[in-house]
Amino acid sequence: MSNTTSTLMTEGTIWKRIITFAFPLFWGNLFQQLYNTADSLIVGNFLGDAALAAVSSSGSLIFLMVGFFNGISIGAGVVIARYFGARDICSLQKAIHTTIAFGLICGCLLTLVGVFAAPQILVWMGTPSAVLPNSITYFRIYFCGSLAFVMYNIFVGILQSVGDSRHPLIYLVISSAINITLDLFFIGVLHYGVGGAALATVISQFISVSLCLRQLLRSPEEFRISFRKIHLEKNMLQRILTNGLPAGFQNSIISVANVFVQANINQFGQMAVAGCGAYSKVQGFGFLPITCFSMALTTFISQNLGARKYDRARKGAAFGVVCTTIGAEMIGIIIYFLAPLLIAAFNNTPEVVAFGTSQARTETFFFFLLAFSHCMAGILRGAGKSIVPMIVMLIFWCGVRIGYISVVIHFVPVINVIFWAYPLTWTLSSVVFTLYYWKSKPLEAKINA
């Protein structure tokens, strides 16, 4: 027990536990964003507008396909954290090994779908013809590493569920450095083009998943993995999917909407695709406090409900929401004023900078609403209510977003109409989450006992 006491979030000062857990997550997500942004920075500066647009146009589609399986790993993490908090080691082991077995199957399936479906899906999205060949190349090479991407998220989810956010940070630092180095080598020295950027990402991801696997093979016995125990346990898989499928569908729902948004942006031409793609990378950094605190809240809530510490769970939820919304809004304001410089770092073509800056100055003042929605989703997932965020995202971040763009863009054919879809749907989801939380009280003992 002594080996794992420091990872328990059911003891100690609440704000210290959450921040201590979230701080490595923040740096880990920072390096993850650098990991993803390196492709765009290097491609945009070495290969130009068309190549940057090719990488950018693949982003929404990649998240659509990877996001579903990442959601499954989030759901699995809730189950694992609950058993860890309750100190139910037998069920904890079953959950871990069933999750790994399921991840191996999903990774192989995703590889086949990604490689063979890429051309047709990119065509359906209306990817500009000048960009399409490079987009297909990038997409196919990227998805050759699907097994690594899926298993990395599974392994990191296991580590974070038992309170270990430090080792994933270390592995991300290593893989990010390798990714950037290989990007420069493949593109700047060997002139492999956008395929080199995708190849660099795949290689670095396999390295990071290998490091995670090594750590889990050497972890304390309670959550150590053993190859001979890896199999699908029916009842446990059902519990994992009950929590994971809503989170997976939620990611996919958001991605479907983003693919639709990307298809509409594509209609405004190559410069718009490049500019909005550059902003999406900048925006990713603004999302860091949102991501790290919502993940920390899911683990904190799940472990404490598993230990039946309901008052502690409620206090942690309140602290996380306040910190995240304030931090996200401060970052949004900074991005608002620095947007032209930040977009120009990817590509300094005036039209590209103008498109990216326009999107930034439409959305960034509303980051606090995005933060609030993500935190509430994280809290509800930790409480085992993952179906609620899925429904809210389906209605507002998918249905309303797509409906709004489809109707308004027909009468007002300007790109800013697309940009305003995000603040609008963030506002609506925040209102609904607030009403649901007040009414259902998901962290009360009478509900979770």
| Average pLDDT, rounded, for the chain | 83
Residue 101 has pLDDT above 60, yes or no: yes
Chain-centroid distance of CA 27 in Å reads 14
More confident of the two residues 74 and 319: 319
Tell me the pLDDT band of 321, cut-offs 50, 70 and 90.
Answer: very high
Tell me the pLDDT band of 7, cut-offs 50, 70 and 90.
Answer: low
Q: Report the C-alpha gap between 376 and 364 in whole angstroms.
A: 20
> What pLDDT is recorded for position 359?
93
Residue 25 has pLDDT above 80, yes or no: no
Residue 232 has pLDDT above 50, yes or no: yes
Task: Return the percentage of the chain with pLDDT > 70, whole number.
Answer: 89
Domain ranges, ordered by start, for the chain: 13-448
Residue 404 has pLDDT above 70, yes or no: yes
CA distances from 237 to 88, 105, 145, 221 (A): 17, 13, 25, 21
Q: Report the C-alpha gap between 16 and 71 in whole angstroms.
A: 27
- Give the DSSP letter of residue 366: G
Tell me the pLDDT band of 27, cut-offs 50, 70 and 90.
Answer: confident
Tell me the pLDDT band of 126, cut-offs 50, 70 and 90.
Answer: low
The answer for residues whose C-beta is within 8 angstroms of residue 250's C-beta and 6 or more apart is 71, 377, 386, 389, 390, 393, 394
Side-chain-side CA neighbours of residue 187 (13 Å): 29
> What pLDDT is recorded for position 60?
62
* 244-263 average pLDDT score: 77
> What pLDDT is recorded for position 358?
94
Residue 449 has pLDDT above 50, yes or no: no
Least confident of 55-59, 82-86, 187-191, 240-244: 55-59
* 334-341 average pLDDT score: 93
Tell me the pLDDT band of 423, cut-offs 50, 70 and 90.
Answer: very high
Tell me the pLDDT band of 1, cut-offs 50, 70 and 90.
Answer: very low
Task: Convert the pLDDT of each residue in 49-86 to its tens digit.
Answer: 667 666 666 666 666 667 777 777 877 888 888 888 77
